[in-house]
Amino acid sequence: MKRSCRLGGLLLALSLVFSLCVTPAGAAGPSMSNFKKQRTYYSSVFSDVKTSQWSYSVIKTCYEYGLMQGSGGKFNSNGTLTVAEALVMADRVHQIYNTGANTLTNGSPWYQPYVNYALSNGIISSGDFSSYTAKISRADMAYVFSHALPASQLGEIKTVNNIPDVNAAPYRDRSAIWMLYRAGVLTGSDSYGTFKPNSYITRQEAAAIIARIAIRSERRSDPLLQKVTDNVVTFGLPQTGAVKKTTSSTGARMYSVEGGTRFVMNISTKSNSAFSGISLPSVLTAAQEKSIMEDRSNGSYLTNCVVTKVSFGGIQAYRSEGNFTSDSYSYSYPSLTYRFISGTTLYGVTLIWLNGSVDKTLLSKVANSIAVNGNAASPAYVP
């Protein structure tokens, strides 16, 4: 009898242990696959969101995946994000990732349940913020959003060696900013990755960022650029290695990135006092410029050449797009050349794509980084 009781007690204890260890059918464990479309976005969902605005697709994504909701039938795209709103977004991502559902609702004050959840789950720490209704800086937003997922789900997908305005700044958690850049979540406000950490962030900007955190396919792998200066010309090359400069016997400068470079930027100059006070398009028609770029007499020329008149601020120029071809070395690469006069110097700035099929996003970023006296080309280049 005693043995039977002991056996029954053992079976009861084992059943309790297993009841604690076994996940109930249908319950979700921590996983990125928990982020799924929950509803369909229609044009009438947010009356103030237009299909023409840059953020339309990310706002649509955030609504469909249950990451953002709006209020009163409006999204308020240009409204400034508050600390409380940032916590709501981070909490939703954290809870969906861990459980497969978002169950948090408003309290009194409305944001208190979200604050409590963020504190209890390590998204923020006590004393981090003195006001939850205040506007949140971009640096603090990065701090909050970086804790919405485990660090293992925010792994590096691209090289980032420099963020112009973050390197030495004393922010709450500078490492969070670097992690989100390398994970393809943060991209900065320009091709060099300028972050503006002390500025506030709009709701549409936050939508783009939280969508990249929750949905891997939204993350951006195209590299940031590093700025190079050559006299009046500045341009960017990918942050995938150190910039290498070589100078030819004619004085032309060629810039490339060491280790798997995709671009070569070649800058040639010719000075003559007769150039003073004139612009290239004032002395050459577009047809004449095309003829010069297609001239085969020196063995290097453009094929499939298209010439467009552009301006760098007050400097008029020609942009020639085509395949840079060399008879001597038997190659032909997609290229873009700007020719213009600055002072008494005629410049030729040629961007050549070297590797395989053209990545149009990266090509556009590098091409449109070319500036003269700080002015980018207008109209911009569209591959």
Dump pLDDT digits (tens) for 234-256: 999 999 889 999 999 999 999 99
Cα of 380 vs its chain's centroid, Å: 19
C-alpha dist (Å) from residue 337 to 129, 211, 269, 290: 51, 37, 13, 11
Kindly give, in sequence order, each residue whose CB lies less than 8 Å from that of residue 250, ignoring residues fewer than 6 positions away. Answer: 268
Mean pLDDT calculated for residue range 96-102: 96
Side chain identity, residue 83? V
- Burial class from Cβ neighbours inside 10 Å (0-12, 13-18, 19+) for residue 105 reads exposed
The per-residue pLDDT of the chain, averaged, comes to: 90
For 382, the 3-state DSSP assignment is coil
Please state the φ and ψ torsions of residue 189, each to the nearest 5 degrees: -95, -5
**What strands, in cross-sheet order, belong to the sheet with 225-230?**
225-230, 233-238, 371-372, 375-378, 300-312, 315-326, 331-342, 345-353, 263-271, 253-257, 243-247
Kindly give, in sequence order, each residue whose CB lies less than 8 Å from that of residue 94, ignoring residues fewer than 6 positions away. Answer: 117, 121, 123, 147, 148, 149
Dump pLDDT digits (tens) for 151-163: 999 999 999 999 9
**Residue of 218, 199, 223, 192 lying closest to 207 (CA atoms):** 218
Side chain identity, residue 127? G
- Token readout for 110 is 């409305």
Residue 281 pLDDT? 97
Dump pLDDT digits (tens) for 248-303: 999 999 999 987 678 899 999 999 999 999 999 999 999 999 999 999 998 889 99
Cα 229–Cα 234–Cα 240 angle in degrees, nearest 5: 80
DSSP one-letter code for 80: B
Q: Distance between CA 163 and CA 262 in Å, rounded?
A: 21
Q: Which residue has better confidence, 71 or 87?
A: 87
Confidence of residue 119 (pLDDT cuts 50, 70, 90): very high
- Could you write out the DSSP letters of every residue in 251-301? S-EEEEESSS--EEEEEEEEE-GGGTT--HHHHS-HHHHHHHHT--TTSEE
Neighbours of 62 (CB within 10 A): 27
| Whether 65 contacts 213, CB under 8 Å | no
| Whether 8 contacts 27, CB under 8 Å | no
Confidence of residue 330 (pLDDT cuts 50, 70, 90): confident
Dump pLDDT digits (tens) for 160-199: 999 999 876 566 678 999 999 999 999 999 999 999 999 9
235: β partners: 228
**Where do the CATH 3.40.1000.10 domains begin and end in the chain?**
225-378
Confidence of residue 134 (pLDDT cuts 50, 70, 90): very high
Q: Distance between CA 32 and CA 213 in Å, rounded?
A: 10
- Token readout for 238 is 């990918």
DSSP one-letter code for 91: H
CATH of 225-378, one of 3.40.1000.10, 3.40.50.300, 3.40.630.30, 1.10.1060.10: 3.40.1000.10
C-alpha dist (Å) from residue 250 to 18, 110, 269, 270: 80, 70, 9, 10
